Amino acid sequence: MAEIRKVVEGDVTVLVKKPTQKELSDSQIAYNKAWKKALDENVIIRAKLNEYLTAQGIWSETKQKEYEDFIRKINDKELVLKNIPIGSCPKM
């Protein structure tokens, strides 16, 4: 059975479970299908979207900086979750 960890930071509680090999495989297949569908439907990728939004005056350097700061904060929290020793968290 997969081990589930409970992580509490401030008023946020997160349950963390390491995915099984099947779950990883299934998620990769789902990702690949979604990516192929997006490409088939000519979905605009992030870089082109930024160019388009900037040209339309919808996006700005300030908004881009806010976006990058937000992504950095998410990545920092993800690192915190990844670096918590399994033995230090109570089992559910």
Contact (CB, 8 A) for 5 and 15: yes
Contact (CB, 8 A) for 16 and 7: yes
Amino acid at 53: L
User: What percentage of residues in the chain have a pLDDT greater than 70?
Assistant: 89
Domain boundaries, the chain: 4-88
pTM score of the predicted model? 0.48
pLDDT score at 18? 86
> What burial class does residue 54 get, using C-beta atoms within 10 Å of its C-beta: 0-12 exposed, 13-18 middle, 19+ buried?
middle
User: What percentage of residues in the chain have a pLDDT greater than 90?
Assistant: 43
pLDDT score at 89? 60
**pLDDT at residue 85 tops 80:** no
